[in-house]
Structure 1
Amino acid sequence: MDNIYKKLEETLAKNKYTSYVHPPYELERKLVIAIQEMDYEKSLSILKEINSLERAQLSKRPLLSLKYSLIGSCTLFARAVIEVGLDAETSFMLSDYYINKIDEATTFDEVQALEYLMLGDFIKVLRKNKEFTYNSLINRVISYIRKHIEENFTLQDISSYVGVHPNYLSAAFKKEVGKTLSEYINEHKIASIKLYIKHTNLSISEISYTFNFSHVTYFSRFFKKNTGMTPMDYRKLSSNTNSLIEDTVK
């Protein structure tokens, strides 16, 4: 145990000397959320931002160091999609496939390209798993809701986007999905808020602002009405659950 702490101290000193700092953890969490929301453009943008920073040296051989880094990314992507419902076996099979591709790659360009292909495929597989099973009109409505869930939008906004009368849309949605538009929006908003509370270090007021609530009090009331607990209680519960998992792994 003493040896590992000595190694950590030596590495920390070396990193300070070379001015190397690992990419911010917050960026990694934002990437996880974007993947789980199946937002490829946002995920790609965050991954490029992370990759614009210096990578950790994981091997004295540069190509092998890059490969190790991508295996870390692969693990991150795999866990991210499992957390939001993709069955573990499918995720692990995709992970195994890309780890083998990484292992077989022989050039820097080939390895670097694999990370972006890997990101896209994990999102595609997750999207396929959660693929809408409704008619084209309702699918477009759901796509709109998912894309704009952090914003304030109205029934009129949605009906204008899909080109039908609001009354017709409300009735069609209820008939097809089995719940009202407002119920569906609230459920999806709560699911998205939970991701922010669980996977970011943003304060409750910052998350409230992200989802366009006029005051954190209204945000807390909305969350408690739909979950039975306050945002802070949910964060504590999530934190305790993660600690239990980590203890079990140890």
Structure 2
Amino acid sequence: MASERIRAIQNALIAKGFLPGEVDGIWGRRTIAATKEFQKKMGLEVDGIVGPNTIIALFGENKSLPGGPLLPWLSEAQQLLGTKEVLGKRNNPVILDWADDLDIHYSGDEVPWCGLFVGHCVAATMVDEVLPSNPLGARQWEKFGDPIEPRLGAIMVFWRISKTSGFGHVGFYTGEDETAFRILGGNQSDKVCFTWISKDRFLKARWPRTAASLGGGQAIVKMNRAQDLSSNEA
């Protein structure tokens, strides 16, 4: 659904005379630049985010974006589902490339990479967003962006080992039940996947500051859990 929404935006931009590059369902720099050019021409807030006003300008008053609002950082995370570490001394070059793109010294994918994954998803799709000073540190994401209540796409920070250990985990909210959050994150069972984390471990939810036009995204997503709780994401 995420790639379908992005393709719809790319086709709408082309129809309006703007060039997002190939219609590939990927929220890349050319699509962001085309969105900003369109927003500037239409007198909208030039943030590269397809919020409610940009959706109306692109699709008209009586049409909506297929599948609902686009959260580009969450779309990127969804496209990376299944990305995993390489066992042994070798490393997954995809994960190493995330660090290179962020100009982070990263010795290899045996080092916990949940913060790196979140940093990549945000930086690749929100080019004006300021990341934490050390994106590798999961607890550093407690200072990111603006505070928000847990909801679809929110960056969720949890403690790990103990609340005072300084160790943590970070990922994206995709749902919840009465006792746990469903998190899309990296370094979960050594790969990008969904897992359930107890609400007792929750610290903070944060929202990208440059995505303010999205109005905080969709409200909470209730789900039925059919998976054991995660106990360690290192």
- Normalising by structure 1, report the TM-score: 0.28
More helix by share: 1
Q: Which has the higher contact order (CA 8 A, sep 6+)?
A: 2
